[in-house]
């Protein structure tokens, strides 16, 4: 099994440093451009089916990357973005930073001391959720020889890569940072064991 993980293209909220989470924000024009460049980069890759987060920015990215391929595109709630509850929509950095922005920014710079907003998800909950998705893939005998695109989000993607690496500690969650928009990570799975082949490749 070969997996191609891609983070969605840019949205207006990405550009404004607004907390996105489950807020259903579409790609902006630049985000569509990034997805098109990624589609060009992957055009010669064999892809048999694709999973996408149900959120529109991930679905749009998947559809652009897949182009004219006539393959199944499956919506999978387990790989949607982490929920940030009542913090969604606030600007957490930059000139437009809003009240609560500094506290939320701990999610990125001091994850251990990040306080889960009301209605939000914890890092362990996220790891458990995406881990269930990965195990479901690995154990599906019908998919063992397939090449699969997985269109998802920054925190959800990082969580999946941590699951692959066996990292479950909150303080090590971000490692080398947030995956870039439309970055592609390739993973091989043999006998249910995943190996990262390349990480964070960009085609723009």
The model's pLDDT over 103-118, given as tens digits with 9 standing for 90+, comes to 999 999 999 999 999 9
Of 76, 81, 88, 121, which one is the catalytic site residue?
81
Q: Is 81 a catalytic residue?
A: yes
Query: If pLDDT is split at 50, 70 and 90, which confidence band does 177 have?
Result: very high
Of 8, 60, 88, 121, which one is the catalytic site residue?
8
Q: Is 17 a catalytic residue?
A: no
Single out the residue of 31, 30, 40 nearest to residue 61, CA to CA. Answer: 31
Q: Order the strands of the 2-7 sheet from edge to edge.
A: 73-75, 49-52, 147-152, 2-7, 184-190, 193-201
Q: Tell me which DSSP letter residue 90 carries.
A: -
Instruction: Summarize pLDDT for 33-87 with one digit per residue, the tens.
Output: 999 999 999 999 999 999 999 999 999 999 999 999 999 999 999 999 999 999 9
């Amino acid at each position: 099994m070969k997996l191609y993980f891609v983070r969605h293209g840019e949205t207006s909220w990405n550009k404004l440093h607004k907390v996105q989470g489950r807020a259903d924000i579409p790609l902006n024009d630049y985000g569509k451009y990034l997805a098109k460049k990624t589609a060009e980069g992957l055009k010669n890759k064999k892809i048999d089916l694709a999973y996408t987060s149900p959120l529109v920015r991930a679905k749009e990215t998947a559809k652009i990357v897949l182009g004219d391929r006539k393959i199944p595109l499956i919506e999978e709630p387990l790989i949607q973005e982490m929920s940030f509850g009542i913090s969604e929509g606030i600007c957490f950095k930059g000139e437009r930073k809003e009240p609560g922005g500094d506290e939320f920014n701990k999610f990125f710079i001091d994850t251990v001391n990040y306080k889960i907003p009301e209605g939000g998800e914890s890092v362990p909950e996220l790891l458990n959720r995406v881990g269930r998705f990965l195990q479901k893939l690995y154990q599906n005998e019908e998919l063992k020889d397939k090449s699969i695109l997985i269109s998802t989000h920054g925190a959800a993607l990082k969580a999946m890569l941590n699951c692959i690496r066996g990292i479950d500690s909150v303080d090590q969650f971000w490692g080398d940072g947030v995956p870039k928009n439309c970055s592609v990570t390739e993973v091989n799975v043999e006998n249910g064991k995943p190996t990262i082949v390349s990480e964070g490749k960009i085609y723009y």
